[in-house]
């Protein structure tokens, strides 16, 4: 089994998809998607484009849909939800489909949606992702970090490293080795690391202190966000 890590969607190869591709956007999209599915959302459907989101969600029964959009860390006007995982309570999301667009995370998911297996990983569902990979042993796995508007992000790489550290697999590229080293260096201080990161700093300015603590916590939920059709993630079997 071989593990590759890519720091941004832009750095991810556009051809030759792996057996399994995993999107990571710790702050906060993949943490929020995991939270929503663990809280009983029917599915999360991701979009990079807000007009497309509006058109597709309009075809879904109104009582069973929620529209969620974040840009620059804040909720987009006119949407039901932003990107804080604390908004995705069972009372709010149970049985609903969430039509979601975020600055970077949903772009990472869209960039890998042609892979045969697509997962979303976060620290809060780390063991679920590891259990799936250990059980199914996909020969080639890519972890695609969302980064921030095309540049590297510390927190996504740390999560990629946590996955690498939990598997005894061959490394496919240097990024995978460095991600594992980063995680091992900070594994007992992940919340501190996330607060140092540029996106952590941005979220702190927006009042996201509790979000960072939650996003840094390991195994809060037992859920595996898995793509069931292009861009649609539901809770998969672990």
Interacting residue ranges for ligand 3SL, rule: CB under 6 A: 25, 27-29, 70, 73, 83, 102-105, 146, 203
Match 């960072």 to its residue by tokens.
212
CB of 81 to ligand 3SL, least distance (A): 11
How far is the CA of 97 from the CAs of 55, 59, 76, 150, in angstroms?
14, 12, 18, 28
CB of 139 to ligand 3SL, least distance (A): 29
CB of 45 to ligand 3SL, least distance (A): 15
Q: Nearer Cβ to ligand 3SL, position 107 or 180?
A: 107
Q: Nearer Cβ to ligand 3SL, position 23 or 133?
A: 23
Q: Nearer Cβ to ligand 3SL, position 57 or 146?
A: 146
Q: Nearer Cβ to ligand 3SL, position 28 or 180?
A: 28
CB of 185 to ligand 3SL, least distance (A): 23
Q: Nearer Cβ to ligand 3SL, position 90 or 150?
A: 150
CB of 1 to ligand 3SL, least distance (A): 28
The candidate with the shortest Cα–Cα distance to 223, out of 157, 99, 91, 127, is 127
CB of 164 to ligand 3SL, least distance (A): 22
CA atoms within 13 A on the CB side of 147: 17
Q: Nearer Cβ to ligand 3SL, position 105 or 225?
A: 105
């Amino acid at each position: 089994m071989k593990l590759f890590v890519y720091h941004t969607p832009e750095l991810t190869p556009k051809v030759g998809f792996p057996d399994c591709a995993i999107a990571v956007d710790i702050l906060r999209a993949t943490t929020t998607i995991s939270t929503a599915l663990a809280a009983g959302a029917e599915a999360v459907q991701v979009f990079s484009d807000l007009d497309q989101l509006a058109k597709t969600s309009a075809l879904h029964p109104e009582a069973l849909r929620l529209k969620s959009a974040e840009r620059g860390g804040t909720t987009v006007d006119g949407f039901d939800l932003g990107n804080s995982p604390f908004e995705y309570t069972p009372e709010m999301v149970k049985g609903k489909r969430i039509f979601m667009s975020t600055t970077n995370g949903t772009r990472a998911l869209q960039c890998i949606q042609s892979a045969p297996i697509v997962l979303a990983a976060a620290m809060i569902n780390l063991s679920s992702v590891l259990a799936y990979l250990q059980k199914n042993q996909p020969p080639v796995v890519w972890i695609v970090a969302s980064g921030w508007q095309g540049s590297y992000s510390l927190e996504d790489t740390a999560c990629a490293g946590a996955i690498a550290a939990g598997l005894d697999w061959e490394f496919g590229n240097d990024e995978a080795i460095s991600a594992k080293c980063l995680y091992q260096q900070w594994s007992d201080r992940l919340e501190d690391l996330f607060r140092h990161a540029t996106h952590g700093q941005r979220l702190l300015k927006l009042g996201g202190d509790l979000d960072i603590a939650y996003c840094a916590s390991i195994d809060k939920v037992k859920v595996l966000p898995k793509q069931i059709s292009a861009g649609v993630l539901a809770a998969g079997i672990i």
